[in-house]
Amino acid sequence: MILSIDLSSAVPIYQQIRDQVVEAIAAGELAEGSALPSTRQLAGDLGINFHTVNKAYDQLRQEGLLRLNRKSGAVVQRDPHSGPPPPGFTDEWSARLRTLLAEAAAHGVDTATVLTTCGRIVGSFGAQPGARPGGQVGSHVGGQHHGELGVGERLGGPA
C-alpha cells in the first residue's frame, strides 16, 4: 500500500492517512496482524509532523482497526475476515453514511447513481473471506483521484 497525501487538499492530512489505511484494510492490502510504519518513520517519509501521523493512528485505534504498542508499534487489529463488527459500530456507521447520502441528495444525485456507485465502490475492495494477502505500507506525497457522481433524479424521488 502506498499512502498518497495531497498537501493542498481541504481534507486534513491525518484524515487522509486514516482514510487510506481504512481503504487498504477493506481492500485486503492490509490484513489483521500487518505492521504499519512507526509514527516517526511515516512522518519522515511524508515530510510531516509525527503528531499528525500519531493522530491518524490514534483515531484508527479508537475505531478498533489498529492496536498500538510501544514495542510492536501500530498493527492492524481487524480486517474483513475478523468476524462481525463490534457492538454499536453499525449505528455509528449508519449516522455517518446518512450525512454522506444527504450530501448526494442536496446536490441532486439520483438514487440509481448512488446505488450503482456504492455497489461499484464496495465491489472494488475485493477482500474475500479466506484471502489473507497482507501488505506493506509506503508513502507518496501528491494528489489523489476521486470518482465522480452523476446528476439526475434526486435521492428519495424526482427533482
Give me the residues paired with residue 140 across strands: 4
Give yes or no for a contact between 127 and 26, defined as CB atoms under 8 angstroms apart. Answer: yes
Establish if 149 belongs to a structural domain. Answer: no
Establish if 158 belongs to a structural domain. Answer: no
Report the CATH number that the domain containing residue 23 is assigned in CATH: 1.10.10.10
pLDDT for 21-58, tens place per residue?
999 999 999 999 999 999 999 999 999 999 999 999 99
State the pLDDT at residue 1: 74
Establish if 156 belongs to a structural domain. Answer: no
Of 1, 7, 102, give the one whose Cα is nearest residue 46: 7
Of 19, 47, 18, give the one whose Cα is nearest residue 141: 47
- Regions of the chain short of the pLDDT cut 70: 127-159
Establish if 98 belongs to a structural domain. Answer: yes
Q: Which domain holds residue 114?
A: 2-141
State the pLDDT at residue 125: 87
Q: How far from 16 is each of 57, 106, 108, 113, CA to CA, in Å?
A: 11, 24, 26, 25
Give yes or no for a contact between 126 and 28, defined as CB atoms under 8 angstroms apart. Answer: yes
Establish if 155 belongs to a structural domain. Answer: no
Establish if 117 belongs to a structural domain. Answer: yes
Our count of domains for the chain comes to 1
